[in-house]
């Protein structure tokens, strides 16, 4: 067992002494997490708006207050004339202008109808759309409240208001996806590179000629990454929780155990890749192209599997991260336990077995 | 040579259509310093890899210390030290750490066996904290040898240990091997440098996967029955041109600072050749008879085979 310990210690030296490896191991999780958290989500915070209130009554004041009080908007300017609107947009800071018509409260009370105009800066179409949706949402909820008080037959659909919240879902969704992608990448990429590096350097010849057994070499290579992968998983969960407020509803222990299972699966995939390739470059290419793209595109991470063409949906079944994402979503967001994720867990165990068996069969105790 | 350390019988190996080893049989005695000499592509590395159990032969069999290279590979792996063609060290580990690692994976410790490599290690010890990747070629070579020796092997396979190493380090390295031989370690060494043949107890000259001859360096020189005439002059190129036109000359080739010439018949003497060259108005030259070098023998053997 001393031989084995010496081997694992050597692996840690390789990892801690290589700056690139360290960056990938510890920089990538944090960077990816922040990237996906801040860049890819469409959530808007404190967008500058201007309000032009021709009425200035109790209703418009209350509406303005509610809009500005929400964390999405920040009141940049109060306008007095219509002609100011274009100027405000041209300056570029203000993304939306809300115009209340004159005698707003009066009209609303008497006719049950009042007009508000929402102008968005469509040079950024997505932002504009989202801002308009938010604003409508706030107005709707106010009118809904009025409705319950006065029971006036106003045509409003409160459901729409609720639906306009895909942004929040996005924030929650990327955490499971990012964990899956990072663990997959780091574990598979790093092990496949570290094994092929020994082949390239010629040290594999020496390891093979030594009394070390094949499984000792494989397990020794993998063990440090199980440990580091686990640290990564924890980092991502903590970042998700504290920076982005993504909750962990279910059992943390179950979540960590499932993560370790997924790490082991990714590692066995990495070993498989390395037994099939002889150079670091090819191993890296295979890991990047064959693992990263499917993980992003076919795992349900960003694009829902249900919306894909049938052929791609079948392809999704053989993308292991898909199952891990389902597990993580269930445990983290829905707070469900093992009884809801056992099927996916079994599938991942199955993948692990297949990859390990294949790599043990493929791993050569000789050179050719 | 009561017992053999290495025995091969009709060993062959091919990669696709290329015959890397073609029906090779030889015996190496215990404690011998045995050299395999031949150019790149002669099959030296393939042979070493079969003997170190890294490759399976296509035909024939080989034993190392009585163990079969195919069925008893584990035993062989325990007792042999191997130094692959490129010095396979971990570049990101220091000298000390490399040595420690190779001791550990063979289930031993550096302190237990340091006496085996003491003279060698003392030369690199001042740099023990340096990363192996930052060592010079000669130092890498010494470290690689240390690593191959640290588990006290009974047989040592050194695949081109002097390639890419400066002349001084090469000389030191062979002196080191000589000292090791006194510790009763069988040493198999391959090299493309003919001038290193003289350092071995016996050598095998290899070419295109075949062993052309096996003998002591002295014996190989004696096998060479032909006379070798060395021609020196200012205008070597001109001399070569002239020599090529002589029908009585079998072969002439550049060898260091001179041209080596062998005649079709044994009767051709230095004086004959001088006379012929003078006849052709060759400028400013000198001809003398010399004793053949291993390389002369190699060239002759290769040419005779063809």
Cross-chain Cβ contact A366/B53 below 8 Å? yes
H-run or E-run covering A285: helix A280-285
- Residue of chain A with shortest Cα separation from B91: A201
pLDDT-derived band at B1, boundaries 50, 70, 90: very low
Average pLDDT of the residues in A44-52: 82
Query: How far is Cα B150 from Cα B114, in angstroms, rounded to an integer?
Result: 7
CATH number of A47-163: 3.40.1710.10
Mean pLDDT of the region A157-169: 35
Q: Is the pLDDT of residue A175 over 80?
A: no
The two structure tokens encoding residue B33: 């310093």
CA neighbor of B38 nearest in space, from B165, B163, B221: B163
Question: Mean per-residue pLDDT for A276-281?
Answer: 85
- Distance of alpha carbon A174 from alpha carbon A26, whole angstroms: 19
Phi-psi map region of A103: left, alpha, beta (phi>0 left; psi -120 to 50 alpha): left
Assess whether pLDDT exceeds 60 at residue A170: no
pTM comes to 0.74
- Rounded to an integer, the average pLDDT of A269-290 is 85
What residue spans define the domains of chain A?
A: 47-163, 171-367
Which tens digit of pLDDT belongs to each residue from B204-229? 999 888 898 899 988 888 877 777 88
ipTM above threshold 0.90 = no
Name the pLDDT band for A294 (thresholds 50, 70, 90).
confident
Q: Residue A214 has which token pair?
A: 């094949």
- Which of B67, B89, B92, B134 would you mutate first to test chain A, the one with the most A CBs within 10 A? B92
Q: Pairing mode, if any, of strands B202-207 and B210-215? A: antiparallel
CB contact under 8 A, B105 and A210: yes
The mean per-residue pLDDT over the stretch A241-251 comes to 81
- Would you place residue B187 in the very low, low, confident or very high pLDDT band (cuts 50, 70, 90)? very high
| Residue A155 pLDDT greater than 60, yes or no | no
Give A16-33 pLDDT, tens digit per residue. 888 888 887 888 888 877
Of A10, A201, A209, the CB nearest to B52: A209
Q: Which stretches of chain A sit within 8 Å of chain B by CB?
A: 2-3, 5-7, 10, 13-14, 17-18, 201-203, 205-212, 365-368
Distance CA B161, CA A189 (A): 34
Give the nearest partner residue to A3 out of B77, B93, B104, using CB atoms: B104
* Token pair recorded at residue B280: 């052709």
H runs (alpha helix) in B17-166? 44-51, 73-79, 95-105, 110-113, 118-124, 137-149
């Amino acid at each position: 067992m001393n031989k084995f310990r010496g081997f694992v210690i050597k692996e840690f030296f390789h990892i801690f002494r290589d700056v690139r490896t360290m960056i990938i191991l510890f920089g990538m999780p944090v960077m990816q997490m922040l990237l996906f958290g801040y860049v890819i989500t469409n959530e808007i915070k404190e967008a500058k708006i201007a309000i032009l209130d021709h009425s200035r009554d109790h209703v418009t004041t209350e509406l303005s207050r509610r809009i500005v009080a929400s964390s999405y908007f920040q009141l940049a300017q109060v306008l007095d004339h219509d002609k100011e609107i274009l100027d405000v947009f041209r300056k570029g800071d203000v993304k939306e202008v809300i115009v209340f018509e004159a005698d707003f409260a009066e009209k609303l009370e008497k006719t049950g109808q009042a007009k508000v105009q929402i102008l968005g800066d469509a040079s950024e179409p997505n932002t504009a759309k989202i801002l308009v949706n938010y604003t409508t949402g706030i107005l709707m909820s106010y009118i809904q409240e009025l409705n319950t008080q006065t029971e006036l037959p106003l045509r409003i659909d409160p459901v729409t208001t609720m639906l306009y919240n895909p942004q929040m879902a996005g924030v929650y969704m990327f955490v499971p996806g990012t964990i899956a992608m990072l663990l997959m990448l780091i574990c598979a990429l790093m092990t496949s590179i570290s094994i092929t590096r020994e082949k390239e350097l010629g040290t594999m010849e020496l390891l093979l000629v030594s009394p070390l057994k094949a499984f000792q070499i494989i397990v020794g290579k993998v063990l440090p990454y199980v440990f580091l992968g686990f640290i990564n998983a924890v980092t991502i969960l903590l970042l998700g929780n504290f920076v982005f407020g993504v909750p962990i509803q279910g059992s943390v222990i179950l979540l960590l155990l499932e993560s370790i299972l997924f790490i082991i699966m990714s590692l066995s995939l990495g070993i498989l890749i390395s037994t099939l390739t002889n150079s670091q470059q090819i191993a890296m290419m295979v890991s990047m192209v064959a693992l990263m793209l499917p993980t992003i595109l076919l795992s349900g991470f960003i694009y829902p599997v249900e919306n894909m063409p049938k052929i791609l949906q079948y392809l999704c079944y053989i993308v292991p991260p898909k199952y891990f994402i389902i597990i993580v979503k269930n445990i983290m967001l829905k707070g469900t336990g093992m009884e809801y994720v056992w099927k996916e867990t079994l599938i991942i165990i199955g993948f692990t077995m297949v990859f390990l068996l294949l790599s043990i069969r493929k791993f050569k105790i000789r050179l050719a | 040579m009561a017992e053999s350390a290495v025995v091969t019988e009709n060993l062959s190996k091919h990669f696709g259509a290329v015959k890397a080893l073609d029906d090779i049989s030889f015996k190496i005695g215990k404690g011998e310093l045995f050299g395999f000499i031949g150019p790149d592509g002669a099959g030296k590395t393939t042979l070493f890899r079969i003997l170190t159990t890294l490759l399976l032969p296509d035909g024939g069999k080989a034993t190392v210390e009585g163990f079969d290279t195919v069925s008893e590979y584990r035993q062989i792996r325990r007792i042999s030290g191997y130094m692959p063609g490129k010095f396979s060290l971990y570049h990101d580990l220091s000298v000390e750490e490399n040595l420690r690692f190779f001791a550990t994976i063979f289930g031993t410790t550096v302190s237990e066996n340091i006496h085996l490599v003491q003279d060698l290690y003392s030369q690199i010890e001042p740099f023990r904290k340096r990363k192996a990747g930052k060592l010079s070629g000669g130092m890498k070579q010494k470290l690689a040898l240390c690593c191959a020796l640290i588990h006290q092997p009974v047989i040592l396979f050194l695949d081109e240990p002097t390639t890419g190493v400066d002349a001084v380090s090469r000389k030191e390295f062979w002196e080191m091997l000589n000292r090791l031989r006194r510790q009763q370690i069988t040493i198999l060494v391959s090299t493309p440098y003919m001038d290193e043949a003289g350092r071995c107890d016996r050598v095998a000259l290899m070419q295109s996967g075949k062993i052309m001859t096996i003998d002591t360096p002295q014996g190989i020189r004696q096998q060479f029955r032909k006379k070798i005439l060395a021609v020196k002059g200012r205008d070597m190129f001109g001399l070569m041109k002239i020599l090529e036109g002589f029908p009585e000359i079998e072969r002439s080739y550049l060898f260091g600072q001179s041209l080596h010439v062998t005649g079709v018949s044994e009767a051709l003497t230095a004086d004959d050749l001088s006379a012929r060259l003078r006849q052709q108005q060759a400028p400013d030259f000198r001809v003398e008879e010399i004793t053949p070098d291993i390389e002369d023998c190699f060239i002759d053997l290769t040419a005779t085979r063809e």
